[in-house]
């Protein structure tokens, strides 16, 4: 596959990468003009896989320590 779609459940954010042009995943193409069809196709495929493997619609519970850990990492790297 040429494209990779990533969804971060806890942040409700998407990333889309062109693996031919950007093999190190440096340029997020999600939401950029011209990639709407790619996003739609990959989201449909993701939904089909979630259905096939009976993944619950609700997001998984977040561990109690996740919030403080994320804030610490964001502070550290920003």
Other CB atoms within a 10 A radius of the CB of residue 10 amount to 11
CA dihedral 49, 62, 38, 18 (to 10 degrees): -110
Query: What's the pLDDT at 10?
Result: 73
Q: Name the maximum alpha-carbon separation found in the chain.
A: 39
pLDDT tens digits along 7-24:
987 778 999 999 999 999
pLDDT tens digits along 20-43:
999 999 999 999 999 999 999 999
Res 60 pLDDT > 70: no
Query: What's the pLDDT at 3?
Result: 98
Rounded to two decimals, the pTM is 0.73
Which residue matches tokens 């096939």? 52
The two beta strands, 13-18 and 3-8, are: antiparallel
């Amino acid at each position: 596959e040429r494209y990779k779609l990533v969804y971060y459940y806890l942040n409700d954010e998407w990333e889309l990468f062109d693996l031919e042009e950007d093999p190190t995943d440096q340029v997020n193409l999600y939401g950029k003009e011209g990639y709407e069809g790619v996003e739609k196709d990959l989201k449909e495929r993701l939904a089909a896989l979630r259905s096939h493997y009976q993944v619950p619609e609700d997001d998984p519970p977040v561990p109690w320590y996740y919030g403080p850990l994320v804030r610490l990492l964001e502070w550290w790297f920003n």
